[in-house]
Structure 1
């Protein structure tokens, strides 16, 4: 017996180091001085670098949004002591994860990023740079962490978990991209960073539905029918949200029934009932109810208006008829199905080949047409790559509309979107013009958003010592974008002269622009008006015919009337509306100035 106990004791003793390895705590940043890092002090193993450190070391402040990050941190901060220390290749980090931490502010989120270093090149690892950017927006943040010079990790340290400092103030219900870069970064090295896209929680997910004005919607809807009189009862919003009015919309067969609802809360503070009138008998309606607020979430329910025979008591059915009627309906349905199978030719069904998380497609046959399932091309294993080019000369509202378009296409049209605003790191490394040239070469499709400013050819900005960095960079980027669009026009002209396929190139305008805004060199390619032609744009990107003999294809949430039901679609519509108002105001101001 004592031998068995001894064996178990030895096994437990051997197992303790393994368990202890699994419980190794994450390495968190510490406060250090640059002098301690450069001298290789043992207390400076994993240090956060602040803007004040950069200021003392380099003599200038980094851009506010970039925090302590600079383009070549290893060379600038550590290269003076030993230039060779920043010339080795280090593989990108692994297992990048995002964790939400406690944030007392109900209107924002705070995250902490963690990762593991790669085995490859870990001996030469000098630190990390963590970059956070909002998709569809311009907000950015960056953190820099360095090891001291005498630290040399071994492959066994690749199981360590390193963390960033908290990133506070993230908007709820938004998408972000976080990039973790391993330092140093020699030139022509492409595998030095790892990116991850994540979404923050919605207001309802973080605080509960009853605390969110924008996300609130009626959860309980009850429909009662007596003859042709239909009564709908729904729960009211909590008083603290300040919602005083609602609306109801029912539609069927091209008909719409809209009702404004203003409850009297003095009678009932929790529920309200209203009547649906002027609905046709024997028709199934799809209805929505929501708070009368901008971008309010809508609750959908169905209303079936029964056909009432004259002289008959509404909804009075004898017990025997209640038993017989369902059986008769079932028999009739079976007979109809059998006749359809025997008399109509069998249609060939094809499987839908697309990532389900990216897009959904359904076929909605017209009246008297046959049903058909249409597939996307099977020869494309990855989503098509789309480069969006635009002119920033029309102002920030137009740029915001372009970003919202890119976010909608990437999220709901099964397409990988390339936009310079989302790839600031690569644009800064390569230069705007070189980045655009590479994307033009590598993308499957190129979409040029045409506007009034596209025909404006600004001169390259002259460097001025007194100008601010942000203004100089913005002018240079605008000039590079316009030059890239000019390059695309030349590519189209050469392809047309050689008789080559022009399907790679597309031109589009928003609803506030005119067809005359499309440059002459781009009038050879397919033009689209957005958001009216979203379905046509999807058809172009995926090679799917929208119309076939006997039927047509309707894509969920990409139709002109359906895309606004999605949060990103509503944001796109709002951005286009704001840009249109700004463009019209600018045109009126220009006209008054001309007078």
Structure 2
């Protein structure tokens, strides 16, 4: 009986421990609640972990609101919680840990959705007051933010570091795109750069989310290889998977004012993974921008560039070749003999004259122009600080124009010895300072400011007076350009140098796209004026008496030989095609 009682006591104790762990496990997961700032400040138990929306921010008069959430800058703790009890915001919490991404169901097949989860750090957890989550597509300008607060009377211990906090779903994320999510515990110190954790991830591809059968339109050839065969071009590309049942493709090339359209029907008995087709009647010496895609409605197209080179024609007969070689050899031998005789006679005459008119070294030194010889070489060593350049542009011309600006910045920094500052590269600094504050600081720090002018920039300037409810990013760009114009007018009035400010257009834009406020700035057309831009940035003249500055691979025809230059050329071609199609639609 005693053994039976002992066994039952052990079983009951084990059951009790299991129930405790089970109940504790349910409490370890914390999902956001809908509650107000007032409820958080009062410390109600119903507001332990609350989402803060844009409406909550607008209702608080002490918060300087700009959408969304002040440019995602970590807000001071006292903005929300420190009015009544300032001691809550005197400490900070270490960065969260164990960030996980969970994909959510989304009814829209063209987008993805995720939820972020994490654990708080045990260091400083007793001062934890909330979290801020930021999501950004790498290479893009879109930033999504979520803000969560804990109520004032909440008391946490290091044991609570095992809690798992969840965000709200992030929706409308592009498929097969790389994102970075940043989780920050609040409050944070003034210098908060080491007090956050980030995680990079890819959203699901269309087949992963929707299944292969529903993703035919999203498939496109990723491998394209081009070869020239005399005056024809051979193009090889990868075929769609067999279960897509795509049997027809098409190719369209535009160049020299003409368009070449080709229907493609592969023979799957020869090769089921790749196919090669031939392009006829292309003009030699012409650059073509081509597209290839599956021949189905709304299929995604792959863009590539073809350069048709000149090919020398073969001789008509072998006899003609032999006779031509004999004649050429005879003439070459005769010219060599004549040249040798003339050289000997001239050399002897000059040698006699040099003996008669020999000058002392000190006299020769007086006539030797050292400065002229030294100017032929511009040394840019590691001890020379590269010029700092701020690039401003309008994103209203679409992603193709933005890609051109991005590739130009990469080329300038890699091959033109320039330190480039671009908003697409400095997201964290912009998050900290705000987009306008960042532009103002960079304008004062940089040696030069380059404004990329375009049709969208000029159109936005015209619409600003008519419609004030514009995109905040575009308003910031126009405000920055207005400040540049005012600064140029002030500099001109003081009689100072205006070389700090430059305006440029690409070949798909027109000089009339340059706003009147930039009329005093130096103007360049890219990529034709790359040597002039180099001369401007490094303050070296291109031409002097007897001297011509030649910078390797920066000429109009030479820059595309570099990988970064080829990427810039391809981006310009794609932007030109997109803008020309948009102009046709407007007509």
Q: Provide the TM-score with structure 1 as the length reference.
A: 0.54
Shift, 1:507, TM fit: 1.7
Q: Mapping of 1:181-196 within 5 angstroms?
A: 181-184=184-187, 191=193, 194=196
Q: Are the structure 2 counterparts of residues 38 and 405 from structure 1 closer, same or farther at C-alpha, using a change threshold of 3 Å? A: same
Residue aligning to 2:449: 446
Q: Are the structure 2 counterparts of residues 472 and 223 from structure 1 closer, same or farther at C-alpha, using a change threshold of 3 Å? A: closer
Q: Mapping of 1:11-90 within 5 angstroms?
A: 28-31=30-33, 33-34=35-36, 37-40=40-43, 45-50=48-53, 74-75=77-78, 77-86=80-89, 88=90, 90=92
Matched, 1:508 2:504: yes
Determine the C-alpha separation between the residues in 2 that align with 1:235 and 1:191.
45
Determine the C-alpha separation between the residues in 2 that align with 1:491 and 1:295.
49
Could you give the per-residue CA deviations for residues 284-311 of structure 1, whole angstroms, max 9, x where no partner exists? x9998833877515599999x9999989
Q: Mapping of 1:414-563 within 5 angstroms?
A: 414=413, 417-419=421-423, 426=430, 432=436, 434-443=437-446, 445-450=448-453, 470=469, 477=476, 480-490=479-489, 493=492, 497=495, 502=499, 504-510=500-506, 511-514=508-511, 517=514, 519=516, 523=520, 525=522, 527-530=523-526, 547-548=550-551, 554=559, 556-559=562-565, 562-563=567-568
Shift, 1:174, TM fit: 4.8
The secondary structure found in structure 2 opposite 1:78 is: coil
Shift, 1:376, TM fit: 7.8
Q: Are the structure 2 counterparts of residues 536 and 173 from structure 1 closer, same or farther at C-alpha, using a change threshold of 3 Å? A: farther
The answer as to whether partners of 2:400 and 2:578 remain within 8 angstroms in 1 is yes
Q: Are the structure 2 counterparts of residues 456 and 410 from structure 1 closer, same or farther at C-alpha, using a change threshold of 3 Å? A: closer
Could you give the per-residue CA deviations for residues 406-449 of structure 1, whole angstroms, max 9, x where no partner exists? 444456654654339986995896683x5432121233542123
Determine the C-alpha separation between the residues in 1 that align with 2:217 and 2:519.
45
Q: How many pairs are equivalent?
A: 472
- Paired residue for 2:392, among 386, 389, 394? 389
Shift, 1:143, TM fit: 0.9
Residue aligning to 2:22: none
Residue aligning to 2:130: 127
Determine the C-alpha separation between the residues in 2 that align with 1:295 and 1:279.
21
- Paired residue for 1:378, among 379, 382, 404? 382
Determine the C-alpha separation between the residues in 2 that align with 1:507 and 1:425.
25
Determine the C-alpha separation between the residues in 1 that align with 2:403 and 2:225.
33
The answer as to whether partners of 2:251 and 2:262 remain within 8 angstroms in 1 is yes
The answer as to whether partners of 1:50 and 1:68 remain within 8 angstroms in 2 is no
The answer as to whether partners of 2:51 and 2:149 remain within 8 angstroms in 1 is yes
Bigger Rg over Cα? 2
The secondary structure found in structure 2 opposite 1:149 is: coil
Residue aligning to 2:263: 262
Q: Are the structure 2 counterparts of residues 29 and 534 from structure 1 closer, same or farther at C-alpha, using a change threshold of 3 Å? A: farther
Shift, 1:508, TM fit: 1.2
Q: Mapping of 1:127-526 within 5 angstroms?
A: 127-134=130-137, 139-151=142-154, 163-172=166-175, 174=177, 178-184=181-187, 191=193, 194=196, 200=202, 203=205, 211=215, 213=217, 216-217=220-221, 236-237=239-240, 244-247=249-252, 260-264=261-265, 274-275=277-278, 290-291=292-293, 295-298=301-304, 378-379=382-383, 386-390=389-393, 397-398=396-397, 403-409=402-408, 414=413, 417-419=421-423, 426=430, 432=436, 434-443=437-446, 445-450=448-453, 470=469, 477=476, 480-490=479-489, 493=492, 497=495, 502=499, 504-510=500-506, 511-514=508-511, 517=514, 519=516, 523=520, 525=522
Could you give the per-residue CA deviations for residues 14-65 of structure 1, whole angstroms, max 9, x where no partner exists? xxxxxxxxx9x996534364476445466865443456766888899x9996
Could you give the per-residue CA deviations for residues 471-503 of structure 1, whole angstroms, max 9, x where no partner exists? 596897466334322244257648x9456x94x
Shift, 1:245, TM fit: 1.5
Gaps of 5+ in 1: 1-22, 313-373, 586-595
Determine the C-alpha separation between the residues in 2 that align with 1:32 and 1:487.
47
The answer as to whether partners of 2:70 and 2:434 remain within 8 angstroms in 1 is no
The answer as to whether partners of 1:122 and 1:154 remain within 8 angstroms in 2 is yes
Determine the C-alpha separation between the residues in 2 that align with 1:228 and 1:450.
39
Determine the C-alpha separation between the residues in 1 that align with 2:409 and 2:433.
24
Determine the C-alpha separation between the residues in 1 that align with 2:474 and 2:234.
60
Determine the C-alpha separation between the residues in 2 that align with 1:228 and 1:483.
52
Higher helix content, 1 or 2: 2
Shift, 1:203, TM fit: 4.7
The answer as to whether partners of 2:71 and 2:435 remain within 8 angstroms in 1 is no
Residue aligning to 1:93: 95
The answer as to whether partners of 1:564 and 1:573 remain within 8 angstroms in 2 is no
The answer as to whether partners of 2:112 and 2:172 remain within 8 angstroms in 1 is yes
Shift, 1:146, TM fit: 1.3
Q: Are the structure 2 counterparts of residues 116 and 418 from structure 1 closer, same or farther at C-alpha, using a change threshold of 3 Å? A: farther
Residue aligning to 1:591: none
The secondary structure found in structure 1 opposite 2:264 is: coil
Determine the C-alpha separation between the residues in 1 that align with 2:539 and 2:162.
45
Shift, 1:142, TM fit: 1.9
The answer as to whether partners of 2:125 and 2:158 remain within 8 angstroms in 1 is yes
Determine the C-alpha separation between the residues in 1 that align with 2:275 and 2:463.
62
